[in-house]
A and B are shown apart, each in its own frame.
Chain A
Amino acid sequence: MTSELLLEVINLKTRFHVAEGTVYAVNGISLSINQGETIAVVGESGCGKSVTMLSVLRLISIPPGEIASGEALYLGRDLFKLPEAEMERIRGKEIAMVFQDSMTSLNPVLTIGRQLTEPLQTHLGLDKQKARQRAIELLELVGISDPARRLNDYPHQYSGGMRQRVMIAMALACMPSLLIADEPTTALDVTIQAQIIELVEHLREKLNMSVIWITHDLGVVAEIAERVIVMYAGFIVEEALVDDLYEEPRHPYTQALLAALPRIEQRRDQRLRSIPGAPPNLLIEPKGCPFTARCEYGFEHCLVEMPPLIQVGTNHQCACWFDLSAGKPR
């Protein structure tokens, strides 16, 4: 509908100071999302997807964490400069987050009803009765049967899929403008995964909500997102519209990721392709392109300088010294 800029993250750097040294988790990420848009952030475990989002919401613990630089402009206001009380009003009300592990993300000693009505009471100022009424609606919305009774249950009385739906209901309770879904379907089986995706998509359209979908499942990405951001070792290596990315990946890492996907026409005795090597040690300050060691196109310059994100097509950006389409270094 509208295409107003909702959130813009500029040059975010997040570090963790631990006993072994400094972990360079996020190394200068810039991204933006418009109202009503769905973007996906993909990358393997530990590439900084979640830390980026937690940093934006200021949910990383400081210390050991540190937001070394960057801005997170939400409707023009820098979230990093807001006082904590102001931030509490934004969390859950403006920007909500659904976490990966539904089994541990609900408080085991509080009833579902209490956890669901809490944000309604704090953010919307509803009284107990109204909040309860709305909690019932929310549970109904995410497809929990007999919601009035199930509201009095504890998390252990719910199945994994139901808990994830409760998490989504909690995130949606105050109708946020932006939903950050941090791999909300990884712990679930495929049918429930599909239901959750459908549910979020349905609600996004209805509420004109923006969604940042964090995942490492490229299959899910194709289904939901308009734009994809590929992350590696705390850097954005490629950003493109979803179809362009699948059709013509411009970064060797994206290419390798797509090649690693199992294909239906593949022969069954054929082994899946994988990317040789392992992601770099984040304890070492990054210098040059972090993918070089595993890259088939890497050359000397890659070790010296991190390539900037450059425009390689309409709405297509890539950070690589090697021009894949031309087959030669830039």
Chain B
Amino acid sequence: MSSLADSPSNVIQPHLDELETPPLSLGQLAWRRFRRHKMAIFGTVMIILIFLYCFGGMLVFSEADANFNDTSDRLQPPSREHPFGTDTIGRDIMIRTIYGGQISLIIGLTAMLVELIIGVSIGALTGYLGGWVDSVLMRMTEAVLVIPQIFLLLVMAKYFAQSIPNIEFLGRTFSGSVLVIIVVIGITSWPYLARIVRSQFLSIKENDFILAARATGTSTREIIFRHILPNSIAPIIVSATLSVAAAITLEAYISFLGLGVRPPTATWGNMLEGAYKYVQSAWWLWFFPGALIALTVLSINFLGDGLRDALDPHSRAA
């Protein structure tokens, strides 16, 4: 082993052209492309602001404020005291959008994680192994794919809703229904991601560098996780970003239909529940949570767009 160190230094002399400054790294290139994408920058800034609003607001108002009701103060339009007005039982809508936003964002992010874990595992297995594993798992994926997601969501939300106890997290008590929604969204959204990952694996595994890695004795597990996965990370990141937005929208759907997160826990979605009765008489009931959902989803989609352009190695926009 030590015999390598004393090798003659004159075996190969470096060429002059090797001494020039190295080009930009992959990350630097991606950042340069991302920076050019104005809407993506707008989206990123908006997302940061929304996060600050939801998690920073926690420091100013307590959860008790969010659930404090004063029926004498109900259906107040926006004022100095209640900037976003009050709801049907006199709760402050601004504080509720802060706490509801936390839940909505957490649902979006964790549902994305669930989707990522299932989708990437199944996509990687089917794409790399092929054969009967591929056939069985892809038929399963298609089976999930052919059932309308919203229908599946409603049935599952209804079915699981009562069975989960409350949970403590981040010093807050969440309704068990939050967990149900996360799981339900996660396990109904993975098929698209699985197909993206599968197609990535199918093409990447044919590369010479995979053969070369196998020739150095790399195990199958390492080939999948250390060699192929990092190569398919760009579409996964983009798809994961967009699925956060999708999860937030889905949560709003089911909560609006009354099958989502149970009150008193607020989410942007369940704040809309019942607001349709006041579409004209109390516009602030639906406007603020609705606007926040729209803004968040829009910003995340812009961010996803920007990431897609920035992370695409074939993109020439630099």
Contact = CB atoms under 8 A, between A and B. Distances in A.
A in complex with B: yes
Interface in A125-148: 134, 137-138, 140-145
A59 B218 contact: no
A156 B22 CA distance: 9
B12 A165 contact: yes
A89 B227 CA distance: 18
B165 interface: no
Contact of B22 (A109, A143, A153, A202): A153
Given A110-B227, A142-B12, A96 B18 contact: no
A65 to B, nearest CB: 13
Nearest to B233: A109
Contacts of A108: 209, 231, 313
A171 B213 CA distance: 10
**Quick one: which of B11, B211, B216 has the most chain A CB within 10 A?**
B216
A92 interface: yes
Interface string A85-114: 100111111001101010011111110000
Contacts of B72: none
A318 B226 CA distance: 47
A197 to B, nearest CB: 11
Contacts of B218: 88, 92, 118-119, 122
B59 interface: no
A111 to B, nearest CB: 9
Contact of A101 (B4, B208, B217): B208
Contact of A106 (B3, B4, B19, B212): B212
B11 A199 contact: yes
Nearest to A171: B216
B211 A90 contact: no
A89 B217 CA distance: 6
Contacts of A123: 217
A105 B19 contact: no
**Quick one: which of B13, B22, B207, B209 has the most chain A CB within 10 A?**
B209
Interface in B17-45: 17-19, 22-23, 25-26
B7 interface: yes
Contacts of B7: 140-141, 202, 206
Contacts of A159: 15, 17-18
A140 B7 CA distance: 9
B11 A105 contact: no
Contacts of A297: none
A278 B215 CA distance: 32
Interface residues of A, number: 53
B148 interface: no
Nearest to A144: B14
A167 B212 contact: yes
Nearest to A207: B3
Contact of B211 (A59, A85, A96): A59
Interface string B225-239: 011001101000000
A246 interface: no
A59 B215 contact: yes
**Quick one: which of B5, B18, B217 has the most chain A CB within 10 A?**
B217
A96 B209 contact: no
A198 B8 CA distance: 12
Contact of A198 (B11, B14, B227): B11
B1 interface: yes
A281 interface: no
Contacts of B17: 159
Given A57-B215, A145-B18, A154 B25 contact: yes
A102 B5 CA distance: 25
A109 B26 contact: yes
Nearest to B219: A88
A105 B230 contact: no
A107 B25 contact: no
A162 interface: yes
A274 interface: no
Nearest to A91: B217
B214 interface: yes
Contacts of B9: 140
Contacts of B26: 109, 154, 156
Interface in A245-273: none
A122 B223 CA distance: 13
A97 B215 contact: yes
A175 interface: yes
Nearest to A143: B12
A139 to B, nearest CB: 11
A152 B54 CA distance: 39
Given A104-B208, A199-B11, 5 more contacts: A91-B215, A92-B217, A99-B208, A157-B25, A207-B3
Interface of B: 1, 3-5, 7-9, 11-15, 17-19, 22-23, 25-26, 207-209, 211-219, 222, 226-227, 230-231, 233, 313
Nearest 7 CB-CB pairings of A with B? A143-B12, A92-B217, A92-B216, A145-B14, A91-B217, A104-B208, A105-B212
12 contacts: A59-B211, A91-B216, A92-B217, A101-B208, A105-B211, A107-B231, A115-B213, A118-B213, A119-B216, A145-B18, A159-B18, A199-B12
